[in-house]
Structure 1
Amino acid sequence: MTDVDAVVPLDRVQPPQRAGEKEALVLRLDFLRETAVNKVAGLSTEQALTAALPPSALTPAGIVRHLMCVERWWFAIDFAAMDVPEPWSDDDIGGFELAPGESLATVVRTYLAECARSNEVIAAHGLDEVARGEGMEFDLRYAVIHLIEETGRHCGHLDLLREAIDGSVGD
């Protein structure tokens, strides 16, 4: 694995036990995002493309790519109505499939960039603001809570996959 292909663990910041609503939600989501990246840090791209728990086809890299997709879908497309490419195709609903030759490091960089864009959207709007996407009726609070749930659930999947691939366990 070359340095360009390496995924470096992030410093996870434990959210404060007392904070305003928006700060508490965003910091919890950031903590889970950091956890997802740390779950794949140290894996090679080959390992990250391993479906380690048959019959499931889930791979660590596919889960991180999916998390990038849901960040884009919920915050940029559905909430902010940004003119950005849809994150998945009709052939890959959910966005779990990597492009041929795509490395784990590339997937993680794309995910972190999408998380940064999501945080910009969150920072620019109030939690009570309603989504601008066509036919969307949820508020920003709902989207943030949904992404906390989604990211947390997939961190659990990453726990299981990582342990099956190389025995690594932990936070």
Structure 2
Amino acid sequence: MEDDMFTVRLSGAPLGPPWDLAAWDSEAWPFTSAAADSPDELYALWDDAVARSRARLAAALADGGLDQLVHASAPDGTRASLRRLVCDLIEEYGRHTGHADLLREAADGLTGEDPPPGWRPRAGQPIPGS
């Protein structure tokens, strides 16, 4: 979602690695693609996506702020604002936090709300200017 929101929806650019190599033609791919990945690999994928997302968001903020129009549009052609993308990403995290926690528990075998001890997001720096 991070890459989609601040790549495709922000500028209309195609998704890059690792998503550009994915087997999107299979309906099962999103649900089976990470079955053999370790928790460290999955956290790294997420960390990298967040880092790319924050860099693109920071650049967009510096280039026009939250009220600028982005590539994403409604069926009638009305384009969304960067503010809308940020709110949509917050909504996505809120909606899927419980699902993600269940998936994380299945991947790393730990239960509860917290990631493994000692884990720190690599992309945990604030967005410049925020």
**TM-score interval w.r.t. the shorter chain?**
0.5 to 0.7
TM norm structure 2: 0.59
Q: Aligned to 2:55, what secondary structure does the other structure show? A: helix
Q: Aligned to 1:124, what secondary structure does the other structure show? A: helix
Q: Tell whether 2:45 aligns with 1:110.
A: yes
Q: Aligned to 2:112, what secondary structure does the other structure show? A: coil
Moved over 6 A (4+): none
Q: Tell whether 2:83 aligns with 1:141.
A: yes
Q: Tell whether 2:104 aligns with 1:169.
A: no
Distance 1:115 1:166, change over 3 A: closer
- The structural deviation recorded for 1:167 is 7.0
Q: Greater strand percent: which structure?
A: 2
CA separation in 1, counterparts of 2:28 and 2:13?
A: 20
Matched with 1:150 is: 92
RMSD: 3.3
CA separation in 2, counterparts of 1:147 and 1:101?
A: 27
Q: Aligned to 2:99, what secondary structure does the other structure show? A: helix
Aligned length: 101
CA separation in 2, counterparts of 1:92 and 1:139?
A: 30
Tell me, yes or no, if the aligned pair for 1:79 and 1:133 is still in contact at 8 Å.
yes
Tell me, yes or no, if the aligned pair for 1:79 and 1:136 is still in contact at 8 Å.
no
Q: Percent identity?
A: 31
Q: Cα deviations across residues 13-60 of structure 1 (Å, max 9, x unaligned)?
A: xxxxxxxxxxxxxxxxxxxxxxxxxxxxxxxxxxxxxxxxxxxxxxxx
Tell me, yes or no, if the aligned pair for 1:80 and 1:121 is still in contact at 8 Å.
no
Q: Could you list the runs of 5+ residues in structure 1 that have no partner in the other structure?
A: 1-69
Q: Tell whether 2:68 aligns with 1:132.
A: no
Deviates further, 138-147 or 87-96? 87-96
2:57 counterpart letter in structure 1: I
Tell me, yes or no, if the aligned pair for 2:10 and 2:82 is still in contact at 8 Å.
yes
